[in-house]
């Protein structure tokens, strides 16, 4: 008789575990993204390498293979003169994706780069927001922004 008494509770607990299992399997994937750029400070007029890099790291902390997606967006190197500020160099790399095995990471980047003569003036990097995500619902994003001025004097 006691077996019948506990039977509904057993099915309830098994149902909850079944519903939470996919969440437990995929919870906690680690995602990070950041930008780097050159130059970061100025100096005398001359030839400079203008370089903007979108960096990301997606770690699969689950038990199944997942797919990671990276969608970097526009970056522009501009000169503070007149309005709107003229763009000296810009780029928008293609989106990317990768299959990530359990316990592995996808660490990658996209880059735009050129050599450019910079005369006297104030310049800065401006970038659009971008994001990374997985096919199991994880995501991280970086808002649009700009970096401090680079003074060429």
Residue 44 lies in a domain: yes
Q: What's the structural domain count of the chain?
A: 1
Residue 18 lies in a domain: no
H helices present in 1-153, as ranges: 2-26
Tens digit of each residue's pLDDT, the chain (153 residues): 455 565 555 555 545 444 443 433 444 699 999 999 999 988 999 999 999 999 999 999 999 999 999 999 999 999 999 999 999 999 999 999 999 999 999 999 999 999 999 999 999 999 999 999 999 999 999 999 999 999 999
CATH code of the domain covering residue 110 = 2.60.40
pTM, 2 dp:
0.80
Q: What are 145's two structure tokens?
A: 């922004």
Residue 3 lies in a domain: no
Residue with the two structure tokens 């008789």: 1
């Amino acid at each position: 008789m006691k077996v019948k008494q506990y039977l509904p509770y057993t099915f309830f607990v098994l149902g909850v575990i079944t519903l939470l299992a996919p969440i437990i399997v995929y919870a906690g994937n680690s995602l990070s993204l950041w930008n780097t750029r050159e130059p970061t400070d100025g100096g005398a007029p001359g030839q400079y390498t203008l370089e903007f890099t979108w960096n990301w790291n997606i770690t699969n902390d689950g038990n199944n293979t997942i797919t990671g997606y990276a969608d970097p967006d526009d970056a522009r190197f501009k000169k503070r003169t007149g309005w709107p500020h003229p763009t000296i160099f810009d780029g928008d790399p293609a989106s990317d994706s990768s299959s990530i095995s359990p316990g592995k990471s996808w660490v990658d980047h996209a880059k735009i780069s050129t050599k450019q003569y910079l005369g006297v003036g104030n310049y800065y990097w401006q970038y659009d927001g971008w994001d990374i995500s997985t096919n199991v619902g994880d995501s991280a994003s970086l808002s649009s922004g700009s970096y401090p001025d680079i003074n060429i004097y």
